[in-house]
A and B are shown apart, each in its own frame.
Chain A
Amino acid sequence: MVELRDSSGRHWQITIGTSEATCDDETIANEHIFEIDARPNRLWADGQLAHVVKVKDDWWVHINGRIHVLSIDEQGAGGSGDEGGMTAPMPGKILEILCNVGDQVETGQTLIVMEAMKMEHRIAANGPGTIAEIHYDIGDQVDSGSTLIDITGEE
């Protein structure tokens, strides 16, 4: 069985051998016909040519003129949580830090200005709260997904 999540967050449990499938928000038809092409990364699904490639934990699928990314779902790996983690949306450099530890901030307030590919991006507070920790300094390079700032929510 493979557990997958698509870009809209739908969670799938699929078994091909016995053709079982469940999706967390609807019941979907589970009769699909697969034909394996002689070449790697190609298969026929319901009469449509699909190109597939696995990169790290994601499946990239091109089928019927569209590209889909499906992540292999890890059981119990919850989202980033409602509070706390303000993460870098892309790799880049910290240009400005507009808050200090202990500051009260409002939702949408700009906390950090980053630069990536010569464009500036503003990182705004994802909720009201207090700045608990700032993990980087101005000029630091950060990877995509790095936690930049921790905010503790208001009780």
Chain B
Amino acid sequence: MVGPDWMEGAPRPISKILVANRGEIACRVFRSCAELGLGSVAIYSEADRGSLHQQTADESVFLPGDNLSDTYLNIEAILAAAEETGADAIHPGYGFLSERSSFANAVKGAGLVWIGPSAHAIDEMGDKISARRAMVTAGVPVIPGEELPLENPDDMVDELVRAATRVGYPLLLKASAGGGGKGMRMVHEPRNLQREYAAASREAATSFGDGTVYVERLLEKSRHIEVQVLTDTLGNAVHLFERECSIQRRHQKVVEEAPSPVLDAITREQMGEAAVNAAKAVDYEGAGTVEFLLSEDGEFHFLEMNTRLQVEHPITECISGVDLVVEQIRVAAGLPLPFTQSDLTIRGHAIEVRIYAEDPSNNFLPAIGPLAMFRPPTGPGIRLDTGVREGDAASIDFDPMLAKLVVHAPDRDSAIRRMKRACEDFVLLGVTTNLGFLSDIMGHPAYHAGETTTDFIDVNWPEGWSPETSDVAPFVAAASEHYGLSRKVTTIETEGGRGSPFNPFLSLRRSFP
């Protein structure tokens, strides 16, 4: 017998899923596996030994090596781990190998089920130029700009300058294989072009192993709106409405919400239809996201398609009532979507904030430190997706995102109030985070008014953000010192020091925080 009862009759039955990822997204998939009656397998590197994702899975396989190329990017080792544990399907999460067609092919080549779109769809959408071409053919509106692949930084400088002049300033240099704000640079003046190009291609090479960069007109005052699509392998396709992800810093999203505060029903339907057409144009399978820029005049342009599960997928799950990971697994098994477009409606409003270990008062620089206290908020309509717990540490090894805090409420105003309360209730001590900043965004009149353009942070905090001072906090600290509360805190090991299994206090602390 393969797989749980509900899998019976599936063309490609699944019984055990290996997640080729780490952190919160690995935990997210493992939870669904447990609920679906599927086995789960984690992979982990030395830095993730004893991490939440390793311990959440039924089984885990250690991947030795210091570099990502030895561990989370090591296709051979991941396939070997699947074979060793008898996993029959692989979920890639987001980032890492999730949008590498070679990985999708290797997984299928090994006789395993790939929980994601085809290699063809990944390639077609992963290359910004072919994606653009496919969208033009499918009748999906694209961003005005120059198409110019730049492959060799030395030979291409003249061509880059000419292309930039044709496109016009301000412009955006983007890594062709990029995403998540990495390998993306804004250029406002010609004199910065070459410097930013060098940085963008270097970041792209570090993060994606591909230094190709692409030039595009920067549309300021625009909104970043993305549409969730879901397609099965039998030709059914639906959209699950939009997410608005305009509030960003360093081109990385900070606050997302669904539905968008500005979209009217007609535009929503048009964008949804365009997104479904985009997915169909590449024979997409599973969960994907079509990103659009919505300009002030209400026009929308195709930005890119992310051929994976998005970080911010929980807000769509809140408003649609659809568990996207469950649907991904069902689609990969060859089962049909259990609903049609007309079954789907928007229920209430959801907001997600990304809690980063970073200093919002100092240019959002990443911060490290122990999670000496990590007490998330609770209550109706509150969800936390995280890969860390109290006693863990924010380390330099990975992305600084600690958790995603998600709220769901009947309407936007109550969702904002709920999120503000949730941010305020989050006791997260020991490492600097953006919680105070997030709380201030939730309290900002411009946010309440729905003025969430991509330059929201720069416009509303032109001098940068600084935390509120408090007159009582110093007394609390002093009182703690006075009453000896500090003696109840054992030293918390930060990165590097947590390897010692012989420290009795360390294990005590973890058991009884």
| Cβ of A9 to closest chain B Cβ, rounded Å | 10
Q: Among the interface residues A36, A43, A54, A63, which one has the most CB atoms of the partner chain B within 10 A?
A: A54
Stretch at the interface among B149-157, B201-209, B282-290: B201-209
Stretch at the interface among A12-20, A75-83, A146-154: A12-20
A63–B473 CB distance below 8 A: yes
| Extra A-B contacts (9), CB below 8 Å, given A7-B469, A41-B489 | A14-B475, A40-B489, A46-B472, A52-B429, A55-B489, A60-B373, A68-B470, A91-B396, A118-B206
15 contacts between A and B (CB under 8 A): A4-B477, A7-B466, A14-B475, A23-B474, A45-B472, A51-B375, A52-B485, A61-B429, A61-B476, A64-B472, A90-B365, A91-B368, A118-B182, A119-B182, A119-B203
**CB-CB contacts below 8 Å: A51-103 with B:** 51-55, 59-70, 89-92, 95
Q: A122's closest neighbor in chain B, by CB?
A: B199
B473–A70 CB distance below 8 A: yes
Instruction: Give Cα distance in the complex from A90 to B435, angstroms.
Output: 19
| Cβ of A140 to closest chain B Cβ, rounded Å | 14
Contact (A117, B471) CB under 8 Å given A4-B477, A67-B428 = no
B476–A63 CB distance below 8 A: yes
Partner of A2, one of B203, B206, B468, B477: B477
List, in ascending order, chain A residues with CB within 8 A of B427's CB: 51, 62, 67
B483–A34 CB distance below 8 A: yes
Interface string of B224-253 (1 = CB under 8 A from A): 000000000000000000000000001000
Partner of B429, one of A29, A45, A67: A67
Instruction: Give Cα distance in the complex from A36 to B399, angstroms.
Output: 38
Q: B364's closest neighbor in chain A, by CB?
A: A119
Instruction: Give Cα distance in the complex from A150 to B370, angstroms.
Output: 31
Instruction: Give Cα distance in the complex from A21 to B468, angstroms.
Output: 20
List, in ascending order, chain A residues with CB within 8 A of B470's CB: 6, 61, 63-64, 66, 68
| Cβ of A107 to closest chain B Cβ, rounded Å | 17
Instruction: Give Cα distance in the complex from A118 to B471, angstroms.
Output: 38
| Cβ of B430 to closest chain A Cβ, rounded Å | 5
Contact (A8, B476) CB under 8 Å given A43-B485, A119-B182 = no
- A116 interface residue, CB < 8 Å from B? yes
- A120 interface residue, CB < 8 Å from B? yes
Instruction: Give Cα distance in the complex from A61 to B367, angstroms.
Output: 17
**CB-CB contacts below 8 Å: B445-460 with A:** none
**CB-CB contacts below 8 Å: A115-143 with B:** 115-121
**CB-CB contacts below 8 Å: B88-104 with A:** none
| Cβ of B58 to closest chain A Cβ, rounded Å | 30
List, in ascending order, chain A residues with CB within 8 A of B398's CB: 117
B396–A16 CB distance below 8 A: no
A55–B492 CB distance below 8 A: yes
List, in ascending order, chain A residues with CB within 8 A of B474's CB: 4, 6, 12, 14, 23, 68, 70
Contact (A43, B482) CB under 8 Å given A60-B372, A92-B396 = no
A28–B478 CB distance below 8 A: no
Contact (A51, B203) CB under 8 Å given A65-B439, A90-B368 = no
Instruction: Give Cα distance in the complex from A144 to B396, angstroms.
Output: 11
List, in ascending order, chain B residues with CB within 8 A of A43's CB: 476, 479-480, 483, 485
Partner of A61, one of B207, B432, B477: B477
- B436 interface residue, CB < 8 Å from A? yes
List, in ascending order, chain A residues with CB within 8 A of B203's CB: 118-120
Instruction: Give Cα distance in the complex from A15 to B369, angstroms.
Output: 29
List, in ascending order, chain A residues with CB within 8 A of B83's CB: none
Partner of A7, one of B366, B467, B477: B467
Q: A95's closest neighbor in chain B, by CB?
A: B202
Interface string of B287-330 (1 = CB under 8 A from A): 00000000000000000000000000000000000000000000
- A112 interface residue, CB < 8 Å from B? no
A63–B368 CB distance below 8 A: no
Q: A89's closest neighbor in chain B, by CB?
A: B365
